[in-house]
Amino acid sequence: MIATSLNIQEFKHDFLSFCHLIGAKTWQNRMAKLREVISGNIYAEDFLREDNQLCFALVELQGIWDRFGLFPRTLRRKRHLFFAMAFVTQTVSLIKALGEKEGKRLANRIVGAIKSSPEDVRALQVELATATHFLQSGLTVSFADASRSERFDLLVSGAGEADLEVECKFISQDKGKKVHRADLHEFYKLVVPHVDEYLAREGVNAIVEVVVPDRFPASQAGKFSISESVRAVLNGADLKANEFVSAIKVIQHDLEGVSALPSSKGLNRDLIDAITGTRNENALVRESRDGRKSILIVRSAKESALLSSIYETLSDSSKKQFTRTRPAMSVALFHGISIDGLVAIAGHDEGVDSLQVIASRLINRQPHLISVWFMSESELSGPEAGETRSGGAVYHFKNTNSPFWKEGYDLHISPMTLR
């Protein structure tokens, strides 16, 4: 079936097979388009790199192969390359296992995902990661949706008396939010010059908070209107609330301990939230040419609905994608949430208790659902004894009252390894 470990010294065979099956031009052409967008707007780079992580990693791996004709063992220390290599190896093994017709269908799906639908790549990565956990536990896994005979993702055999249906969901960072990161790139390009001009004129550091009535506008006209409102407020005018913006706050602050970083991944979220009085909102930390700092917060007047959105997604898939004639499991992976991040969510009043509520509502209303998993993104550990392992945090809720429940369904996580 699919590989659950990879040997870096043998990886070249998988990589060359992947290049043949998917076509190196697929990610080369995608990369050319991404670089064109980034060259025109530096604020798009962070988001595009993260959203197209596999594409960037494939280009990097290809560059290494073209230059050296091998893949050094040191690559296993690089998180983004480790998971790209795992994806390559597992995809090649899966395409071969599926047979010609279904294998070609999967290859076409990957080509389309790399070209224009990064979330589909992420979704497939969740399926592969989940399948790896089961295979490492000695179970048999088939990709039910590959043949289009079923609507759920995986069918797991060997855990209990009946096969287990598994549906995997990728939960993006924008889930339940009214302001999506992809909508902010052009806005940042418009508004940052106004903020920098204000900092230079006033000789201060500042927090600028923009509040929109509901969703952030996708239209360029809406973004321009908001940026002009920010410019007016920074120049001392009163805000004229309109359909695009409901409030703008400018607070002079020393911003002690805040560093301007090229990537949002390095932001100290706890510090940003404490300083701005917000919680996990989109934030751009800037330092102007004369050393003045600013934090630009863009949020909606309506609260984010992450947890309710997760419930709606899982509930809808459980109703529509499972057969209800066999035991079923829902797996949700949170994009951008590390092990520590998931633990931190669990520590909040709206965290583990709410995850518990979501799971309870799901399993109480749908008796075929015997388990719900909430997973963080995987992280690397090691290397130890020549191995690098990947693994993440999991909140696992089981429904022992289900008429489908058997002891064999009490499953645990197993990692992907690289040697």
Which residues, other chains included, contact 231 with Cβ-Cβ below 8 Å and sequence gap of 6+?
Answer: 191, 194
**Residue 356: how many other CB atoms lie within 10 Å:** 15
CA distance 249 to 277: 12
Beta strands 282-287; 369-375: pairing state: unpaired
Please determine, for residue 204, whether its predicted confidence score (pLDDT) is greater than 80.
yes
Residue 352 banded pLDDT, cuts 50, 70, 90: very low
The partner residues of 251 in beta bridges, in order of sequence, read: 207
Q: Is the pLDDT of residue 418 over 50?
A: no
- pLDDT tens string 70-91: 999 888 778 889 889 989 999 9
Query: What's the distance, CA 190 to chain centroid?
Result: 27
Higher pLDDT, 417 or 237: 237
C-alpha–C-alpha distance, residues 279 and 294, integer Å? 17
> What pLDDT, on the 0 to 100 scale, is given for residue 416?
43
pLDDT computed for residue 378 by the predictor: 67
Locus of tokens 């990957």: 110
Q: What pLDDT, on the 0 to 100 scale, is given for residue 172?
A: 85
Note whether 321 and 403 are within 8 A (CB): no
CA–chain centroid gap for 281, Å, is 16
* pTM, 2 dp: 0.80
**Is a pLDDT exceeding 80 seen at residue 350?**
no
Whole-Å CA distances, 255 to 20, 252, 258, 293: 51, 9, 6, 7
Question: What pLDDT is attached to residue 1?
Answer: 63
- The domain spans of the chain are 1-116, 119-176+305-419, 181-300
* Residues 183 and 218 sit within 8 Å (Cβ to Cβ): yes
The per-residue pLDDT for 263 is 43
Question: Is the per-residue pLDDT at 383 higher than 50?
Answer: no
Dist. CA 401–CA 418, nearest whole Å: 39
Q: Distance (Å, rounded) from C-alpha 369 to C-alpha 328?
A: 5
- Hunting for tokens 């006033």 — which residue is that? 202
Q: What is the pLDDT of residues 264-310, one digit of tens each?
A: 455 667 788 888 888 778 889 888 778 888 999 999 999 878 778 88
Sheet holding 154-157, edge to edge: 140-143, 154-157, 164-171, 328-334, 369-375, 394-398
Complete edge-to-edge strand list for the sheet that includes strand 5-6: 5-6, 416-418, 387-391, 379-384
The arithmetic mean of pLDDT across residues 11-24, rounded, is: 95
